[in-house]
Amino acid sequence: MNALVLVGMSIADADRRTELTAAARAHGATIAFLQQAEPALSLELTRLADAGTTAITLVGVNLGPLGPAHSWLRRIAGHWWREYAGTTPEVLVATRLADDLDRIDDVLGEAKPISGTEAGLTSAAWESVTGHRHQVMICRGPRCTAKGAVDNLRAMVLAMLEHQLGDDDVLLVHTGCQFPCNQAPVISVQPDDVWYGHVDPETATTIVKEHFVTGQPVVTHRLMR
Ligand code: FES
């Protein structure tokens, strides 16, 4: 028994679950996610293996500009392969990510098997707690998501790249409802205790430029207690 799994690589792919599911159905596949959505890839691999699947092909789908590198698909699959307690199926990973749901067939033909020798999930670089100055709470509750939280996130990440701010400087955190929903989309910045409302991508970019780089909160969209 063979199976095909389309694996969303980033939160941008989790946001497009409906499209990913439709593409999977068209290919007789199921879906899984590398992060931030269910089912997690490991859970889906276990489900298929427990059901007696003998060969599983994984195609990574990266529809956003900011997904993790392709190598993480092999590393996560390799970790699962080493840990799975039952009879391990053959797991093949497409050698390229599909950056468009119309390109799944293009990458499907080029898949290489997992060998169990893939790099693990740890690195010497990830030993310590980071010294980031700000934790940025991006509300992904229902109101904020409906009003453009995803576009704000994308603008913020792109602006951080432009200003060479990494996880060591600013940690972006997705949250559920932060409560001032009438001001959606909401972003709050800790430990400064600065709250922003009615944020749009232009404002998100300005927050990076002014608040994170120069330390000056953006007064036009600041919410006062
Ligand atoms: S949904 Fe974002 S503050 Fe409530």
- Convert the pLDDT of each residue in 71-93 to its tens digit: 999 999 999 999 998 889 999 99
pTM for the whole thing? 0.82
| Residues 130/168, Cβ–Cβ less than 8 Å | yes
Using alpha carbons only, give the angle 178, 179, 182 rounded to the nearest 5 degrees.
120
Ligand 1 atom with minimal separation from the 141 CA:
1
Whether the CB of 187 sits within 6 Å of ligand 1 = no
Q: What is the pLDDT of residues 137-195, one digit of tens each?
A: 999 999 999 999 988 998 998 899 899 998 889 999 999 999 999 999 999 999 999 99
3-state SS, residue 33:
strand
Whether the CB of 165 sits within 6 Å of ligand 1 = no
How far apart are alpha carbons 45 and 67 in whole angstroms? 21
| Residues 225/183, Cβ–Cβ less than 8 Å | no
